[in-house]
Amino acid sequence: MKITKQSTDQAVLSELGERIARSRLDRNLTQAELAAKAGVSKRTVERMESGESVQMTSFVRILRALNLAGKIDVLVPEPSLSPMAQLESKGKARRRASTGQKDEGSSEAWTWSE
């Protein structure tokens, strides 16, 4: 199954679990062997493969044990600024998000006068 932006959280977890299970089997590892290699419990591996929620650290440990941790850069690429945005920010990285600026003028929409 392809994961899309319309996929539910449960569908994404199930698909990730199936992919982890396939990767484990491709490496001829049992759940217990993967758990030992990742430093997590066998139950955590079982839960992940069945599409249940697990802690982020457990997910990263399992990816690392399967030599898939390098793929995280593809999943969440490092943000990059456009050249214009770099000039506007004067080389400083953003530290906070902000809401849009509201016009201090009247609340009525502007129209052509007759």
Instruction: Output 81 or 53, whichever has higher pLDDT.
Output: 53
Note the pTM of the prediction, 2 decimals: 0.67
**Residues 41, 45, 47, 52: what is their CA dihedral angle, to the nearest 10 degrees?**
120
**What is the Cα–Cα distance from 54 to 8, expressed in whole angstroms?**
17
For 77-100, what is each residue's pLDDT tens digit?
777 767 777 667 666 666 777 776
DSSP string over 16-44: HHHHHHHHHHHTT--HHHHHHHHTS-HHH
Question: What CATH topology corresponds to 9-70?
Answer: 434 Repressor (Amino-terminal Domain) (1.10.260)
Which residues contact residue 14 at a Cβ distance below 8 angstroms, ignoring those fewer than 6 apart?
A: 50, 51
Helices vs. strands in the chain: H and E counts, helices first: 6, 0
